[in-house]
Amino acid sequence: MHKKKKPQKLDLKYLIDMQMINKWFGDYHVLRDINLSITPNEKVAVCGPSGSGKSTLIRTINLLEEFQQGCMEVCGLKLEVSNITKKTKREVNNRIGMVFQQFNLFPHLTVLQNLTVGPIWGRKISRQEAIHRAKKYLNHVHMYEFIDKYPNELSGGQQQRVAIARSLCLHPDILLFDEPTAALDPELVNEVLQVIEELAAKGMTMVIVTHEMGFARNIADRIVFMDQGQIIEESPPDQFFDQPRSERLKAFLGQILNH
């Protein structure tokens, strides 16, 4: 058995537990005293005006961005400013999948190769098992017939569904979505949202940065509102939309819901 084989079931109270996380881009204070805990199977949507630090927040969870103060625990791994190394970055990313706004498929690889390169070369899973997984998850996202296409032969929505399948192939404990539909033509948004909803129904733990308020309300157990690098408010969807407490959230909802 491989040494790095992850435990099948993580028996943790929180899959993500961020405490007093602060981050700067140069002099710009982009994340301010972030405290955020996410329990297994929870679906959390992150909303807020652009530039509020939403994307940076979820990119910090899987260490694509390093934080400069505070500490966090991700899937049982304790992370502090001092122990962020290439090794911990890989360990964290072995537990977390991520779907990007711009899909970020590998343009020189076919759909199948996009899905198997990580498992085979990163995770040392047998080629046979990796292909088996790839086919299974391509079926889940209704993209099986495109298995031999290259990304530039697919529409945006199809590329994003492949990207979702790619992240599933690694059997992540958490899936992060960074504005998964923001780069899509309007008529392609629904096919992607539908796939995410199917995943949610299967019990995947998810953190979703999104501007699709209706979708967030449908799918999320909790919605987090960010502004200027801070978490201003977090509450269940009904309360979030119907009884916002802070002025900033009221103003934000007023802006997006009146259109």
Partner 1 sequence: MPESKTNTFIEAMTPPVREGGPLGRFLKRSFSSIPNGLVTLLLLGGAGYLLIHLVSWGIVSAQWTGTTAKSCSNPDGACWSFIIARWKPILAGQYPVQELWRIFLFFGILTILIIWIAIRRIPGKSWALVSLWTVFPIISYYLLIGGSFGLSHVPTNNWGGLLVTVVTAVFTMISTLPFGLLLALGRMSNMPVIRLLCIGFVEIVRGIPLLAFLFSAATIFPLVLPEGVNIDLFARTMIAFMLFNGSMTSEVFRGGLQSIRREQYDAALTVGLGWFSTMAFIILPQAIKTIVPALVNCMIIIIKETSVLLVIGLFDFIATIHFGTESPDWIGGHHILLTGYIFTAAVYMITCSVLSKYSRRFEGQIK
Question: Which residues would be at the binding site for partner 1 (CB under 8 A)?
Answer: 62, 64, 86, 89-90, 93-94, 96-98, 100, 102, 104-109, 117-119, 121-123, 166-167, 169-170
CA distances from 47 to 66, 78, 162, 234 (A): 21, 26, 24, 10
Q: What is the DSSP string of 142-172?
A: T-GGGTT--GGGS-HHHHHHHHHHHHHTT--
- Closest separation in Å from C-beta 211 to partner 1: 20
Q: CB-wise, 140 or 217, nearer to partner 1?
A: 140
- Closest separation in Å from C-beta 221 to partner 1: 24
Q: CB-wise, 7 or 214, nearer to partner 1?
A: 7
Q: CB-wise, 123 or 140, nearer to partner 1?
A: 123
* Cβ contact 168:116 at 8 Å: no
Q: CB-wise, 93 or 248, nearer to partner 1?
A: 93
- Closest separation in Å from C-beta 77 to partner 1: 15
Report the C-alpha gap between 172 and 12 in whole angstroms.
15
Of 175, 202, 188, whose CA–CA distance to 44 is shortest?
A: 175
Report the C-alpha gap between 41 and 28 in whole angstroms.
34
Q: CB-wise, 89 or 132, nearer to partner 1?
A: 89
Report the C-alpha gap between 57 and 54 in whole angstroms.
5
For CA atoms 63, 165, 198, 12, give the dihedral sign: negative
- Closest separation in Å from C-beta 115 to partner 1: 9
* Cβ contact 45:233 at 8 Å: no
- Closest separation in Å from C-beta 122 to partner 1: 3
Q: How far apart are the first and last CA of the chain?
A: 56
Q: CB-wise, 71 or 109, nearer to partner 1?
A: 109
- Closest separation in Å from C-beta 254 to partner 1: 34
